[in-house]
Structure 1
Amino acid sequence: MDLDALRSILTDSFPELSGSEFITHTAGWDCVAVDVDGRLIFKFPRHELAEKALIVEARLLTAIRPAVSMPVPDLTLFSGPPRFSRHVKLKGEHLLTQHYQQLPSEARQRLASDMALFYAELHSIDARHMEALGAGPLRPWLHPDDILRRVWPILPLASRRYADKAIDDWQQLPSDPYGVTYGFFDGHGWNMAFDHKEKRLNGIYDFADSGFGPLHQEFIYTNWIEPDLTARIVAEYEALTGRDLDRQRIDLLTGVLRLSELAEAIDDAVHFAEKMKAVMDWSSR
């Protein structure tokens, strides 16, 4: 997965790229991405499960692209070996908290409207068709007892109280009133192609983690950017769909996922500090 090896694979398959600039992006959990000349993205799975997920993602996108107004990737698969995908790059960069906080109100609202429409259109796709294409249930979070057992010794007192209440409330939470839907469930700023100059979202990518889950869970991931964005998206989605969403449920699920991610990162030297900060920030709101 080093740059020279990936460059060799790609130039063997596409000799016309021999004079191109290659940049690797290695932060992804499942794939290494190679950006070629800022116009093409090649994804190389890190392991067998990631390879299977890439194949399913390509199939799912054949149904998603014509159903949503939001630009999404058009993946072409190559069998290799190794197997990889290619798509035209969606122009834009990640949208992080500091970027969102600098946006004027009208740009924030336009972003919220675009995201709400994307979710409304995505949730309208026939679930049986998506299941036939390979969509499955979301990966479950850790068991409540496991979360508390792992995070309790490392949390300060105030955050322990928050964790106890959040996990207890989660265990008592009734089923989602809108049931299970096919959704993206990964709508944070690292999966956005945002044009910072034009202050506009140009597209969304990485559907490998999409699947069937509780409707309200769809809306928690923009809290990674800013709760103000989530609030705007929820209001726009309600206006589009006529559904009344439970904001307290969305907040609770956000906190539980933060705790679950921290519990999973206990022995992860690379990501532990980031996950701890996320719990501390959310629990102190």
Structure 2
Amino acid sequence: MEEALLLRRIREEFPNVTWTSHRYLTHGWDHVVLILDEALVFRAPRTQAYRNALANEARLLRYLQPRVAVGIPDYVYESADGSFAGYRLLAGRELDVATFGRLSDTARERIAEQLAAFLTAVHETPKSVARECGVSERDPRRDHEDFVRDVEALVLPRLASSEVEVIRGFLTELAAEAKPTRSTSLVHGDLAGEHILWDADRRQVNIIDFSDRSIGDPAFDFAGLLANGQQFAQRVVDQYRGPKDEGMLWRARLYFRRIALETMVYALQGYPCTFEEGRAEFGARFRV
């Protein structure tokens, strides 16, 4: 939705909402965002599929609200046609690698504790509740087959033979973990630094963007944490009380490396990232 149209729609549907300044953000993959007076966040899905899912996202978050100690969006404004919705801004700085690197050990420990408790609550959500909120179930074998097809068609022809060899070995490892019989749970689906906010004043973690929620391997939600190091991810796993098995962190490392290949695929499919970014991630995460 274009900036002027979204502003007009907010005025029409919610006449009691007033503001003096706004920021319009378009770098998100699935939604455009308007921030009003640094106090309210309105999100408008880019596609019909995400528009159809927005009301269910709000419904799921209302279920989770009293069950998690971290801050999560509370959609107090929902348009009649489901094309946009708004919540009160959650404070904090994105927990990217640079921000994490400047934190004290005490702050890192507190973040690990809060993330572990959050993931425990999310992963212990009854799957019946998730399904009632429209959450779809991932098919690990089909996901893997689609991923391999895209990598082979789009990425491998652009890489050196030595890189191709490394990726083929990795895909074999990944295939061994694509088991339809593995225990699953509700997952956030994109728990990376840009969706983890650290409010240093309140010593509070806030989590945003549940657009990629699904029923899948709980290890997915630990993959993004590895950007801040194995030790940090291990600390979260150690304090996590949800469904856990000995191979969880191993699979999270596989998924973390997979992200680099996904970035290259997405770039070539027209998403707002670059092939060079993915290749740099590939070099760092695969050490090639």
Give the TM-score, by structure 1 length. Answer: 0.88
Give SS of 1:51's match: helix
1:36 maps to amino acid = L
Offset, 1:118: 0.5
Offset, 1:13: 3.4
2:244 maps to amino acid = R
Question: Identity across aligned pairs (percent)?
Answer: 22
Deviation string, structure 1 residues 205-225 (Cα, Å, up to 9, x no partner): 111211100122221122244
Answer yes or no: is the 8 Å Cα contact 1:94–1:192 preserved in 2: yes
Give SS of 1:42's match: strand
Aligned to 1:150: 154
Offset, 1:241: 4.5
Aligned to 2:69: 69
Distance 2:92 2:178 in 1: 39
Q: Give the 3 Å change call, closer, same or farther, for CA 145–15 of structure 1 in structure 2.
A: closer
Offset, 1:192: 1.9
Q: Say whether 1:266 aligns with 2:255.
A: no
What are structure 1's unaligned runs of at least 5 residues?
none
Distance 2:245 2:283 in 1: 29
After TM superposition, where is structure 1 displaced by more than 6 Å over at least 4 residues in a row? none
Q: Give the 3 Å change call, closer, same or farther, for CA 214–184 of structure 1 in structure 2.
A: same
What are structure 2's unaligned runs of at least 5 residues?
none
Give SS of 2:209's match: coil
Aligned to 1:25: 25
- What are the residue-to-residue correspondences of 1:117-266 with 2, within 5 Å? 117-138=117-138, 140=143, 142-173=146-177, 175=179, 179-195=183-199, 197-198=200-201, 200-237=203-240, 240-241=241-242, 243-246=244-247, 247-266=249-268
Aligned residues: 282
Distance 1:10 1:145 in 2: 42
Offset, 1:274: 1.9
Distance 1:143 1:83 in 2: 30
Q: Give the 3 Å change call, closer, same or farther, for CA 174–268 of structure 1 in structure 2.
A: closer
Q: Give the 3 Å change call, closer, same or farther, for CA 42–223 of structure 1 in structure 2.
A: same
Give SS of 2:219's match: helix
1:144 maps to amino acid = V
2:198 maps to amino acid = F
Distance 1:158 1:229 in 2: 31
Answer yes or no: is the 8 Å Cα contact 2:260–2:281 preserved in 1: yes
Answer yes or no: is the 8 Å Cα contact 2:114–2:205 preserved in 1: no
Q: Give the 3 Å change call, closer, same or farther, for CA 241–59 of structure 1 in structure 2.
A: closer
Distance 1:211 1:69 in 2: 21
Offset, 1:106: 1.8
RMSD (Å), alpha carbons: 2.6
